[in-house]
Amino acid sequence: MNPAERISELTEKLNYYNQRYYMDSVSEISDQDFDLLLKQLESLENQYPDLKLPESPTHRVGGTITKNFASVEHRYPMLSLANTYNEQELIDFDERVKKGLNGEAYEYICELKFDGISLSMTYENSIFVRGVTRGDGVRGDDITNNVKTIKTLPLKVAAPRGRSFEIRGEGFLPYSSFEKMNSDAEAAGEESYANARNAASGSFKLQDSAEVARRGLDAYVYQFLSDEEIFTTHEESLIALKNLGFNVSPTWQKCTDIQSVIEYIKLWDEKRYSLPMATDGIVIKLNSIAQRAELGYTAKSPRWAIAYKYKAESKPAILKAVTYQVGRTGAITPVAELDNDKLNGKGIHLSGTTVKRASLHNANEIERLDLRIGDTVFVEKGGEIIPKVTAVDVSKRDMLSTQEIVYPTTCPECGGQLSRKEGEANHYCTNEKGCPPQIRGRIEHFIHRKAMNIDSLGEGKIELLYDKGIVNDITDLYDLTYDKLFGLEKVTEDELTGKIRKIGFKEKTVQNILEGIEKSKQAPFKQVLFGIGIRYVGATVAEKLASFFKNIDNIKNADYETLRTAPEIGDKIAQSIVEYFQNEENQIFIERLRLAGLQFSAQDEVKEIESDQLTGKTFLYTGTFVNFEREALEQKIEANGGKVVSGVSGKLDFLIVGEKPGASKIQKAQKLNVKMISEEEFMAMLG
């Protein structure tokens, strides 16, 4: 068989196995065999790049770097829907439909409204050729390479050749992927996403498609568009799309009247929480394509469709107790222990899950809410994923049976003294070297992908190694051997689900860990500096320090004033670095890592320059953005001659404001008359 035939055969086979696995939940081949075939295909495509097919499954792993997304005009405008939050407005909508159709019989199709990012996907000659965001409804961004990473999206379909058509859908981040993203962000000392929708939007607009592929995005499709009239009803199109291999949510339903629609809405008000992704409402559409054309559109939205939005669910719970968690930096986080009014230890049922605990953030939040043990509190899920206490039902408070919350003065894990720096909300355990959660947390931070990237290790394995006394410090990782690891095992039980979880070190796992540790010795200095975990030195600050001082000795020997001369290094960061290197144990720790072979000097990097449009201007940002991750936004500013600063001051030229901005930055910018601009205005500055 010649290379072209083999590439075609492997492409067809692998796409078929993908389809069966991701769409039909059937494994016709083992993961190992699938990976073997995929490697064969990758090898052939590398040898014969001209023979690589557009529908090749190797596109799904990403790897393309996009510096700027091209703007694409939609062939069919992507209009928004009118929204409603109550039944009466639905009935009013139905009356308008009835009147517009002059008494004709009609049906509705009801679909769950998934909370993500709207996507337009174009197929030509049965091949997926372009994926575009909604944008302003008229033009969107071409994110084709990122859309290709969605494993449930067919890159080739069995449609008639020569026919061009467009598929509309909602790209989203499953809860499991969202939780992992936030867990990684927290381990890296970065700000986590508020909800799965923001995370999905940010992920689809990343410039590195390999990173997009790693995040596990998915999509449901819900609309077929073409210049030809293929279907007479929306129902027909959904069935056809499913048969072609598209991921159509099975939750849609045909309704013959508005009361059936309302029953569907009530059915999914609770049931939707059992789904593995975020939803925020129901979309109601006329089924008949001809009747849709008859009703037409307003300037902003179709007259034949409406979206019903669910209100955030809030439930009362009893605050049984407040416990305290210790993070890697020693920060103490109070946690509300919750139960229902029966106090049976089963918690409360909220947004489809059992909730027993909710973060209270810090002592200030407890004081703000005026909480007492025994209070009836209201609990919501932020972004329908993170439980939070929002208020107290003071009318149910009994001062005789409730108890004042006394914030601890010692660490709940090790008994060390707690301290609270002036101007900070958090309390910290001062026993940095002897507090188990801090020690484990520092090791987990060190192996993070933005630090040393030892991805074969994880929280469970680190805990096992620490409990066994094998790894008591980051430097102990570089003394690990096959004999120390092989055969270690730990069995745990999840307190909520009762599921048994086994953590073990088998031969392949041990090999991967040792290879990862050895590979980490080549990680650049900026990642090592981030990984050692100096307080307030996040990934971006570590990069600035590495670029300015060039090696660890220059940083160690720099005094406070010298550190302040480095870009973006403020008072708090400079003082923290000075205190870190004054500690003799930290100096010994650095030397042990140096002897292990880690990189403590920066290599000269050539940064790409795009333009000088922003030369002489300083920028800071707050919130989340549609077109950029935080790191990508900083790179864009610097590539165009601008400078990113660390805080709001009178010297700041522009504060870029995204979704859900930080209130303190906004207030300070207003006070200092700093110009605030939107993401769109920033893009306009780049021309």
Report the CATH number at residue 497.
1.10.150.20
The range of the structural domain enclosing residue 13 comes to 3-61
pLDDT digits (tens, 9 = 90+) for 618-631: 999 988 787 787 77
Report the CATH number at residue 57.
1.10.287.610
pLDDT at residue number 351: 66
pLDDT at residue number 619: 93
The number of domains in the chain is 6
The answer on 278 and 186 residing in a single domain is yes
Q: Which whole number is the average pLDDT over 142-162?
A: 88
**Which positions are annotated as active-site residues?**
113
pLDDT digits (tens, 9 = 90+) for 492-524: 655 444 456 678 888 888 999 999 999 999 999
| Domain assignment of residue 132, yes or no | yes
| Domain assignment of residue 605, yes or no | no
Q: Is the dihedral of CA 457, 463, 465, 471 positive or negative?
A: positive
Give the distance, in angstroms, between the CA of residue 181 and the centroid of all CA atoms in the same chain: 5
What gap in Å lies between CA 256 and CA 258, rounded to an integer? 7
| Domain assignment of residue 265, yes or no | yes
Side chain identity at residue 326, one-letter code: V
CA distances from 535 to 461, 510, 530 (A): 24, 31, 10
194-198, 305-309, 452-456: which range is least confident on average? 194-198
H/E stretch holding 253 reads: strand 253-255
Side chain identity at residue 265, one-letter code: I
pLDDT band at 208 (very low <50, low <70, confident <90, very high): confident
| Domain assignment of residue 581, yes or no | yes
The answer on 514 and 483 residing in a single domain is yes
pLDDT at residue number 496: 42
Measured torsion, CA atoms of residues 479, 484, 486, 490, in degrees rounded to the nearest 10: -110
What gap in Å lies between CA 212 and CA 217, rounded to an integer? 8
Q: With 0.75 as the threshold, say if the pTM is over it.
A: no
The answer on 516 and 535 residing in a single domain is no
pLDDT at residue number 242: 95
